[in-house]
Amino acid sequence: MPQTFVDLDVRPILRGGGEPFEKIMQAVNALAPDQGLRLYATFKPLPLFQVLGSKGFAHEAREIEGGDWEVLFRRIGAPVEDEAITNAAPPDTRDWPDPARQMDNRDLEPPEPMIRILAALETMRSGDVLEALLCREPMFLLPELAKRGHAWRGGFEPDGTTYKILVRVGEGQEPAA
C-alpha cells in the first residue's frame, strides 16, 4: 500500500523564534502505519534526520522557494533504540574542571547554536568543558553529543528562559588542526 503524507509546516514557529521539536514529535507519534510526514522548515533539519531515522524513517530533502526546505519522512522499518541516549544517566559534573570555553548562543536562530557548539568542541581537548547558553532546550544537539562520545548536563536557569548546557569533550578527542 502506498504511503500517504501528513503535512506539517513549522516555518511560522521557527520564524517566531520558537522550537518546533515537540510539535514534530507529536505529529510523528500520531502517524498511522501507512503514513509519512511532509515537513516544511526554514532550514535543512539535519539533526532531525538521525532522530527520525532511529524511529524507522528515511528522508528526502529538497530546497524550495525562498531557501525553505521540504522534507519527506517515509517509514522504512521499526524504531531503533539509541542506547547512548536512552540509557545514559546524566553525568555528575562535580568532578569536572571549570569550563575552558563559554558561549552565549541565545541570539542565534536554529541550527546555528548547534553548529557553533559542535565546531567549538572539535577544537577542544579531551576532558575540556564547554559551557553554552541557549534560548531553548537543544533537542537536536543532545543525540549528536552522545553519538560523538561527549558527556553533557543541562537545564533551564532559574529565569526560565535561558538553557545552560555543560559539555565535556569525549575521551580520545584531539583538537582539529
DSSP string, 123-143: TSPTT-EEEEEESS--TTHHH
Place of cell 513549522: 10
Q: Which three cell numbers stand for residue 108?
A: 542565534
Given a cut of 90, whether residue 7 has pLDDT beyond it is yes
pLDDT digits (tens, 9 = 90+) for 12-71: 988 888 888 889 989 999 999 889 999 999 988 877 887 888 788 889 999 998 889 999
Residue 82 pLDDT: 46
Domains in the chain: ranges and CATH? 4-79 (3.30.110.40), 90-168 (3.30.110.40)
Residue 176 pLDDT: 60
Hey, CA dihedral for 144, 150, 156, 157, is it positive or negative? negative
